[in-house]
Chains A and B, each alone.
Chain A
């Protein structure tokens, strides 16, 4: 295994930890937008697809690459739009209610 391979493993493990720490703190309230968001981000496969579609690797890889570009781009465009649409719906009450014993939802943003 090459040195690059080891560095890649470091990147993977560390990014996994960051993901674990960050995402454990996402409240259940936003779990559906979280799924939509990670879905959009997984569209990053586009980066690999573009190189395959545009490099001169032969006819079959080009075709596979173009299909992959289309699929990944679908996730990027659709994913970010739908995440934004969903998040725009999560609103606070119009006038802040001052009822006693009313605690805000977790991570209720202050």
Chain B
């Protein structure tokens, strides 16, 4: 009877998770849907506490209290600008939990004071699951830590590469797969088990080491997927369906996101992971800016242009996030609308450091979501647009992706900003973007450059537009 109740709570939780994720297809229903998913989680937790194998609650309650105390501020107070590192950080926690459960299970079976010592035939399937669990878990722990460090900038955001790197990675990968096979053959082998943990941990570090800042969206999504797979493997190991279902959902989600991100950069998975973009090699063939002059514009002139524009499209990039200028963007847009203009936002899938980064920042600044458009929806509208305002974006608007087959970003889908009647680019300096290549857009005769910190430039624009 008790077991039936536990299983029913798990079933209800699984349904609620799926409904919650489904609600995310509609912004108006998403919030309520996710609250339902949270309720599902609560049910699953209560159900688990009824589990008959549980004898003492002291430790569990202690852990739950610590988790709540740490989790509450992480949910409540972390600013939206810090969201990419916040997400990477929590992947680490999720994967750590899965890894520790895997180690605990193994210890319970073959080590400890009273090992259950199941025979190899009995435990082969379970051991394969535990092996996958610690493999995905450990590599997600170290990989997410590296991603967190790079996004938080206490580890260099530049790709770190060295000779023989891919060879070393291949060796580590083969070693992990080999150990996994061995563990299935001989489940009680303690050394092989802990080798998997150690090697996977090393793989996580090595995997993220050569990844540069702008490739982070792919990696963060991929780690999301791995964290899910680790949870699913836990479900196989302890025979729990809700874990398998939730893990499969997370795994699918992370996988889809990383594919979308790779496509938006016109690069394969393998290229992102092993290519180490923007470190010599590929950039050699890019055009240089010699002999070309970018035309600077004063805030006064830019303000006049904007105040009398009918259709304005704002293109935000990572520069807007760095300058935390989203509120000023919204204020400027309001002023333009007051003067009779129409403002839309064009968002490239890989703008920023994680999927949907720009959308969240703009939403935080109270930009209504109907005004935010995906690349495919808005690209045809640039031709009719009077002024396109590019704020801290570079590679995602570089026409070389369409016109210059020698460019490293050739083939990447871009926002067709150069079709607009006039372009204003807000930029700190003439430095090249992440890919390290010159942007012809900046030298186009329609383009004017407004140099300076995005936030300061926007504040000047706001006060000038008020006076027009």
Residues of A within 8 A of B (CB): 1-2, 4-5, 8, 11-13, 15-16, 18-20, 22-58, 60-62, 64-94, 99, 102-109
Contacts and interface: CB of A to CB of B under 8 A. Distances in A.
Interface stretch (B220-228, B279-287, B459-467): B220-228
A71 B244 contact: no
B41 A48 contact: no
Interface in B335-382: 342, 347, 349, 354-357, 359-360, 363-364, 366, 368-374, 377
B18 interface: yes
A29 B247 contact: no
Contacts of B248: 11-13, 15-16, 18-19
Contacts, number: 413
Q: Most A CB atoms within 10 A — which of B71, B86, B246, B347?
A: B71
Contact of B370 (A18, A30, A51, A92): A92
B351 to A, nearest CB: 10
Given A34-B257, A44-B243, A79-B75, 18 more contacts: A19-B252, A22-B249, A24-B256, A27-B27, A36-B87, A39-B91, A40-B37, A46-B45, A46-B97, A48-B238, A49-B100, A50-B51, A51-B238, A68-B97, A68-B104, A76-B67, A78-B75, A87-B34
A42 B66 contact: no
A11 B21 CA distance: 18
A15 B25 CA distance: 18
Which residue, B45, B51, B60, has most C-beta atoms of chain A within 10 A? Answer: B60
A84 B35 contact: yes
22 contacts: A11-B244, A13-B248, A19-B250, A20-B256, A22-B18, A27-B27, A28-B347, A28-B349, A28-B356, A35-B354, A44-B44, A48-B238, A50-B54, A64-B107, A72-B93, A73-B64, A73-B66, A80-B34, A82-B86, A84-B38, A108-B370, A109-B26
Nearest to A87: B31
A49 B104 CA distance: 9
Interface residues of A, dominant DSSP: helix
Interface stretch (B229-237, B397-405, B434-442): B229-237
A18 B18 CA distance: 8
Contacts of A56: 55-56
A82 B356 contact: no
A61 B107 contact: yes
Contacts of A84: 31, 34-35, 38
Contact of A50 (B49, B100, B355, B363): B49
B360 A86 contact: yes
Interface in B76-102: 76, 78, 80, 83, 86-87, 90-91, 93-94, 96-98, 100-101
Contact of A46 (B37, B48, B247): B48
Interface string B35-53: 1011001001100110101
Nearest to A74: B71
A105 B369 contact: yes
A19 B257 CA distance: 12
B239 interface: yes
Contacts of B228: 38, 42
A51 B97 CA distance: 12
Contacts of B68: 73, 77
B22 interface: yes
Given A66-B59, A66-B62, A67-B100, A39 B76 contact: no
A73 B244 contact: no
B176 interface: no
B295 interface: no
A45 B249 CA distance: 13
Interface in B236-264: 236-254, 256-257, 260
A91 B366 contact: yes
B252 A16 contact: yes
Nearest to B375: A28
Contact of A82 (B74, B100, B101, B243): B74
A78 to B, nearest CB: 4
Contacts of A45: 94, 97-98, 101, 230-231, 234, 243
Contacts of A66: 59-60, 62-63
A28 to B, nearest CB: 5
A17 B76 CA distance: 33
Contacts of B357: 32
Contact of A90 (B14, B20, B30): B30
B114 interface: yes
A23 B100 contact: no
A57 to B, nearest CB: 4
B277 to A, nearest CB: 21
B90 A39 contact: yes
Nearest to A5: B125
B270 interface: no
A93 B369 CA distance: 8
